[in-house]
Amino acid sequence: MPSDQALRVKALESLLVEKGLVDRAALDTLIDSYQHQIGPRNGAKVVAKAWTDPAFRERLLTTADSAIAELGFGGMQGEHMVVLENTPKVHNMVVCTLCSCYPWPVLGLPPVWYKSAPYRARAVIDPRGVLREFGLELPADVEVRVWDSTAEIRYLVLPERPAGTEGLSEEALATYASRDSMIGVAKAGLA
């Protein structure tokens, strides 16, 4: 039994199709792009390349748009990218307190928790408490930088390369760059 909400959306879609305002095939194309093609695996490739290629890492941190484009990524909700590097002494994390801004071309669409009130409310006032809730306890000598995405700049965190991954291929390294580590609520590592 479809929900009332599902029926209302379906009814609106039918109305817009009937009026000739939307093309169902275009809707399917948009959905397919974000359901099957664009997601955090893109960002993981960017991160893995930065971990293995110092010149790329430099370009990524200074001119993120063109560096990310080298890997074929870019576009909607990632038109103006900035990459933030985590180090042993600096931990960056990203939030959008006002809505749900998120770097789609490299991370896909945001998870529900990222768009929900608890994270948006607390990330700026209690970042260390939020990180603790994600299982990350940061020592006092680490500086936490929270980035509130209030404009059209989209942020990707470059997490620290995990210890013990020396000699791994870029492809193998990419499996360590979790979505949460690229939002900055976790360290990179195998899930």
Partner 1 sequence: MNGVHDLGGMHGMGSIEPELNEPVFHEVWEARVFALRRAMGAWKRWNIDATRYEVELVPPADYLRLSYYARQFEAFLKILVKRGLVSQREIDTFTADPGTPKAEPALTVEKALALVKNGVPTSRDAPAAARFKSGERIRTRNLNPIGHTRLPRYARGKAGVVLRDHGVFVFPDTNAQFQGEKPQRLYSVRFTVRELWGDQAAPQDSVYLDLWDDYLEPL
Site for partner 1 in 26-55 (CB under 8 A): 26-31, 33-35, 38-39
CB of 165 to partner 1, least distance (A): 24
Applying CB under 8 A, does 58 fall inside the site for partner 1?
no
Contact present, 130 and 122 (Cβ < 8 Å): yes
Distance separating alpha carbons of residues 59 and 39, to the nearest angstrom: 22
Q: How far is the CB of 7 from partner 1 (least distance, A)?
A: 9
CA angle 79, 83, 87 (to 5 degrees): 170
Q: Is 66 one of the catalytic residues?
A: no
Amino acid at 175: T
The angle formed by the CA atoms of residues 116, 144 and 46, to the nearest 5 degrees, is 75
The answer to whether residue 134 forms part of the interface with partner 1 (CB under 8 A) is: yes
Cβ proximity to partner 1: between 16 and 71 the closer is 16
d(CA 173, CA 189): 9
**Residue 86 makes contact with partner 1 by CB under 8 A:** no
5 touches partner 1 (CB under 8 A)? yes
Kindly list the catalytic residues: 96, 99-101
